[in-house]
Amino acid sequence: MPCSRPTLVAVMLELAVMLTLTTRLCADDGADAEPTSPRPRITAVDAAEEKEKEKDPSAPGLDDAAWRKTLDSLATRATARGHEALAALIGAWEIPEFTDRQVVVTIPSRLETPDWIDEAQSPLWGEFVAARRRHAEATFARAVEAAEAHDRPRTREEQRVDSEAGPKPLARRGGEAIALLHRTLRDDPDHARARAIGSWVKRGEDWVSTSVAKRLDRGEEFDAAFGWLPRGRLERYRAGERYESGKWVTAADDDAQPRTLKKPWRHESDHWRIRSSAPPAAAAALAAELETSLLIWQQVFGSYAWDPAELERRFKGRGRMPVRDPYAAVLVPSREEYVAEVTKFEPAAIRSDAIYWMPTKTAWFAVMPGDGGGIATAEARTIRHEGAHQLFAEARTTSPLAGERCGFWAIEAAACYMESAVPTPFGWTLGGPDAGRVPAARERLLDNGFQIPLEELAALGRRELQADERLPQIYSQISGLADFFINGQGGRYREAFIEYLERVYTGSVSPDSLSQLCRRTYPQLDDEYRRHLAR
């Protein structure tokens, strides 16, 4: 489809406006509506597992019922021996299945044995660990199979014909492969082949990312309060000293120094480099939330960063993930300072309180007044939202024209979806009828009859969407749509939606891409979306 191409400078300016659509602007849409009760079970992964079982019922360890039975029997034996804590741990090990939301798990850096496991409990603990390892092995086999399950890469000639005829769906299950990889590591944090896929390496007893390994190899030391410090400084930091401009000063003197972004505090976390004119504790809290955002994003959208053939190679133990430079973020101590700083390059800064600025690949945040508990920094959902924009933009080569011509809604939808993360004992859940802005979407759809047809929405470029006077309602709807495409009907469209995002971000999207990828007409998808929210 022909379209007029603005100059690069104009695009950058427009992009700036596009990326300004942030929490403050989006927050006016009733996101705090009363949550509804959670619904029952079964994730897309599990639905896919069902299919796998049909295909290969004899595969070892694939039987989830047998796995649960093993856990039940171990828990019963622990109870019979009076090991109540161990029984409770084993009984709660398997994550409930959800039909309506996604599961994200925390992965320990090593197999942790609770310090209360004594000699009497040790044999049962050993059986539990062995059972987890067997289960991890079976899960890993499924992960590899999912990574292999994609259409063969197209030849150059086929790609040329495709691009002339419009995008063609490319079957893939990369999202499922990555989810299963993480479930493998939850059961067995020492699973070497699974670790190798994510380029985790071992340092001492712990599995760490290659970037962390590089720091450790240089002798750097980490403390959540100070971030990574060059060799030999941590002890003195903990004792109340700070190293500034080539000399040691007391923490009190350092804290008393007024800071600007020209002379900021610096905080380096595993994957972010933060410049901050806000107090160090606020920067540390921002860093921790950004790292959490990465962990969640990798499990939800991680396959976005990989071409299917590349993903398959990785899952077969070939290739390496490149070590990337840290992501850049800036933190200022108040919204007023945020507006003053960001207005220098983004005239619409007044409408936002955070931004991911593509031209400099930097996420900007302001410390917001906290609720009194914990350290005040930017709001967690703002950090997830802008963190998502940053990760999508930088996790692979993307187009500066992403979303300009059409498909812009999906860029915001994916970021809004990241806001829906809810902490759980095993990690987080994302999505669901009661999470994020979905209740507002439901209210607007069912009570007010607000629904922009997907055909119209998918055709909008950034400028048209942002100029739309229905913007708050649109933000509710796109949040509902993200939940539909990721969790609706057992995750049926999840992989297609991730591929759609990839096409939006790489500039290879057309107005009908989503319909083609889902193999449904837009009116069919509109109807299914309505039913999804009306459940």
Q: Which residues bind Zn ion (CB under 5 A)?
A: 21, 412, 415
Q: How far is the CB of 71 from Zn ion (least distance, A)?
A: 41
Return the number of the residue (184 or 382) whose C-beta is nearest Zn ion: 382
Return the number of the residue (21 or 86) whose C-beta is nearest Zn ion: 21
Scored b (16 or more CB within 10 A) or e, 134-157 reads: ebbbbbbbbbbbbbebbeeeeeee
Distance of CA 221 to the CA centre of its chain: 26
Q: How far is the CB of 182 from Zn ion (least distance, A)?
A: 26
**CA torsion angle for 511, 517, 520, 524 (degrees, to 10)?**
-60
Q: How far is the CB of 414 from Zn ion (least distance, A)?
A: 9
Contact by Cβ (8 Å): 189, 110: yes
| Nearest Cα to Cα of residue 301 among 193, 416, 171 | 416
Contact by Cβ (8 Å): 104, 429: yes
Return the number of the residue (177 or 416) whose C-beta is nearest Zn ion: 416
Return the number of the residue (124 or 430) whose C-beta is nearest Zn ion: 430
Return the number of the residue (21 or 48) whose C-beta is nearest Zn ion: 21
Return the number of the residue (26 or 458) whose C-beta is nearest Zn ion: 26
Q: How far is the CB of 25 from Zn ion (least distance, A)?
A: 8
Q: What angle do CA 125, 130, 131 make, to 5 degrees?
A: 95
Q: How far is the CB of 412 from Zn ion (least distance, A)?
A: 5
Q: How far is the CB of 342 from Zn ion (least distance, A)?
A: 14
Return the number of the residue (385 or 444) whose C-beta is nearest Zn ion: 385
Concatenated DSSP letters for 339-377? HHHHTTT-GGGGG-SEEEEGGGTEEEEE-----SSS---
Return the number of the residue (268 or 379) whose C-beta is nearest Zn ion: 379
Q: How far is the CB of 18 from Zn ion (least distance, A)?
A: 8
Q: How far is the CB of 416 from Zn ion (least distance, A)?
A: 7
Contact by Cβ (8 Å): 214, 224: no
How large is the C-alpha radius of gyration of the chain? 24
Q: How far is the CB of 349 from Zn ion (least distance, A)?
A: 14
Contact by Cβ (8 Å): 297, 305: no
| Nearest Cα to Cα of residue 197 among 322, 317, 324 | 317
Q: 83: which DSSP letter?
A: -
Return the number of the residue (268 or 412) whose C-beta is nearest Zn ion: 412
Scored b (16 or more CB within 10 A) or e, 506-531 reads: eeebbbbbbbebbebebeebbebbee
Query: What is the three-class DSSP state of 280?
Result: helix
